[in-house]
């Protein structure tokens, strides 16, 4: 078996790896590190959770061990699609450079430009950035990319999904053509392949698993769900989610719940907290410090349920996630692979459960076509039976003699004393669920209503000013007659008092 000591890493880097507790590299690491140390371009294709981050951080640190950075001219550049992934890469560099004097800067949104500019001005060996913030600094004249020796693109397929490909192409054009490029992705869409053919020079291709495969250690299932009424779908779906969580019992130690929309992330997290589940939300609209604080609490085990949008689906190293719940079937089939890849990592067993409503069945078919397998169907744990049917069943289960002698008494004897109280609690739950649905609708339509309200208020203001200045406005301040158009007969505009006086 290959060990890190066989990969010709710098001695100080190897020492940091050993202190971190790693002995043997993963397949993608064993395949990518040797050609990267030789200065060759690398194209790495591997599913999430296989250790791609160390595949480029370790050779980069070894190659940058010698040399010195100049002001505003970083020696290497790592591009990441999200802030969280960029922060995680920065943590990896801190771990593996503990015995070296290499400097780094993290350029992500939500952090002051001045703090980032101060780091760049001093000169950095490693610049870790999201594309948008990197170009912001470049356009301000605070950054030069002509000194980049090594360039890394991490999670390239996610860059494609987020619309960053034009930015990536521009950044490539700003770096020297002599640079070394390390390009990593979980899938190879045609657009990604076009970029690699354009900007990589005879790359060493390392493909560890079939594209878009899911780990064999993950138990997958899907629950087909149809709401009793369209307006109750959200509340009944959240009820189903809670039932699935309860059904897992002690097997569930922690979980990530993925939603397609940010509004659903907030509503689901709030609903879970209301029912006593330790949950918090994370999505792109939250402040960066709040997002990092939530992730830190989840990593430390202080938070059991993380309700997330796809911002948390790619590349985040969250160990020992026992369950992943897809509250919605993702719109892009590739996102399913990355979502469930948060569990079953490093050889551990994991569970992934998806909730599918009728309108998502097409997306589910796309997922099954991508992973080339049919996802097993799971029975709905909620069995709703009408109370009348329940009472009838209980009567039929009673002794035949009791039914023959006094069927009425048999029914009355089966009525539990607390039935009225439970019925009231059920009504309250339904009222709470309807309230959540109304809040969801308000959240979705708030911006639209706000814009309409501005237009209405603006038009009302114009009308009011026009009426005040018109010849038919009453001197005493009474309301004028409106709605008759521009040609209002003068006798209609007269008040009743004026007609009596006349």
Which residue ranges make up each domain of the chain?
A: 4-207, 218-371, 385-422, 468-502
Dist. CA 449–CA 443, nearest whole Å: 10
Burial classification of residue 58, based on how many CB atoms lie within 10 Å of its CB (0-12 exposed, 13-18 middle, 19 or more buried): buried
pLDDT of residue 338: 81
pLDDT of residue 460: 46
pLDDT of residue 456: 47
pLDDT of residue 442: 56
Take residue 107 and report the two structure tokens written for it: 């350029």
Dist. CA 206–CA 45, nearest whole Å: 6
Burial classification of residue 341, based on how many CB atoms lie within 10 Å of its CB (0-12 exposed, 13-18 middle, 19 or more buried): buried
pLDDT of residue 50: 75
Dist. CA 226–CA 228, nearest whole Å: 7
> For the domain bounded by 4-207, which CATH number is listed?
3.40.50.300
Which segments in the chain show pLDDT lower than 50?
385-418, 422, 444, 447-481
pLDDT of residue 355: 96
Strand order in the sheet with 104-107: 104-107, 126-129, 76-79, 150-153, 180-185, 42-45, 204-207
pLDDT of residue 333: 85
What is the CATH superfamily name and number for domain 218-371? Answer: P-loop containing nucleotide triphosphate hydrolases (3.40.50.300)
Same fold, 4-207 and 218-371: yes
Token match 């053509």: residue? 177
């Amino acid at each position: 078996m290959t060990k890190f000591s066989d990969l010709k890493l710098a001695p100080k880097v190897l020492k940091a790896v050993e202190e971190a507790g790693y002995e043997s590299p993963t397949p993608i690491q064993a395949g990518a590190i040797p050609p990267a140390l030789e200065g060759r371009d690398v194209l790495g294709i591997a599913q999430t959770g296989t250790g791609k981050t160390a595949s480029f951080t370790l050779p980069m640190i070894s190659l940058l061990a010698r040399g010195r950075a100049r002001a505003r001219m970083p020696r290497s550049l790592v591009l990441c699609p999200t802030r969280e992934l960029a922060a995680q890469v920065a943590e990896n560099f801190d771990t593996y450079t503990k015995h070296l004097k290499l400097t780094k800067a993290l350029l992500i949104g939500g952090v002051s430009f001045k703090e980032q500019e101060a780091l760049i001005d001093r000169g950095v060996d490693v610049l870790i950035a999201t594309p948008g913030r990197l170009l912001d600094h470049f356009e301000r004249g605070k950054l030069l990319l002509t000194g980049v020796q090594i360039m890394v693109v991490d999670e390239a397929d996610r860059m494609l999904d987020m619309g960053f490909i034009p930015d990536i192409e521009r950044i490539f054009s700003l770096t020297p053509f002599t640079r070394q490029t390390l390009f990593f992705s979980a899938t190879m869409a045609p657009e990604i392949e076009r970029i690699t053919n354009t900007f990589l020079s005879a790359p060493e291709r390392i493909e560890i698993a079939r594209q878009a495969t899911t780990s064999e250690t993950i138990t997958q299932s899907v629950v087909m769900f149809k709401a009793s009424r369209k307006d109750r779908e959200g509340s009944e779906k959240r009820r189903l989610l809670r039932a699935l969580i309860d059904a897992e019992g002690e097997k569930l130690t922690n979980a990530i719940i993925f939603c397609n929309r940010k509004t659903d992330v907030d509503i689901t997290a709030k609903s879970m907290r209301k029912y006593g589940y330790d949950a918090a939300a994370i999505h792109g609209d939250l402040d960066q410090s709040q997002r990092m604080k939530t992730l830190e609490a989840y990593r430390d085990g202080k938070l059991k349920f993380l309700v997330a949008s796809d911002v948390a689906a790619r590349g985040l190293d969250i160990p020992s996630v026992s369950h992943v719940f897809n509250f919605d079937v993702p719109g892009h089939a590739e996102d399913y692979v990355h979502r469930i890849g948060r569990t079953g990592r490093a050889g551990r067993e994991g569970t992934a459960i998806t909730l599918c409503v009728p309108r998502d069945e097409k997306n589910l078919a796309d997922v099954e076509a991508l992973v080339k397998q049919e996802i097993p169907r799971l029975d709905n744990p909620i069995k709703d039976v009408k109370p009348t049917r329940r009472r009838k069943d209980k009567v039929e289960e009673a002794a035949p003699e009791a039914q023959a002698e006094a069927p009425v008494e048999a029914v009355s004897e089966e009525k539990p004393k607390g039935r009225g109280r439970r019925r009231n609690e059920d009504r309250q739950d339904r009222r709470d669920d309807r309230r959540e649905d109304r809040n969801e609708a308000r959240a979705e339509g708030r911006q639209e209503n706000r814009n309409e309200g501005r237009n209405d208020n603006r038009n009302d203001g114009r009308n009011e000013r026009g009426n005040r200045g018109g010849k038919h406005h009453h001197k005493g301040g009474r309301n004028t007659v409106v709605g008759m158009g521009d040609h209002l007969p003068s006798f209609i505009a007269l008040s009743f008092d004026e007609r009596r006086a006349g």
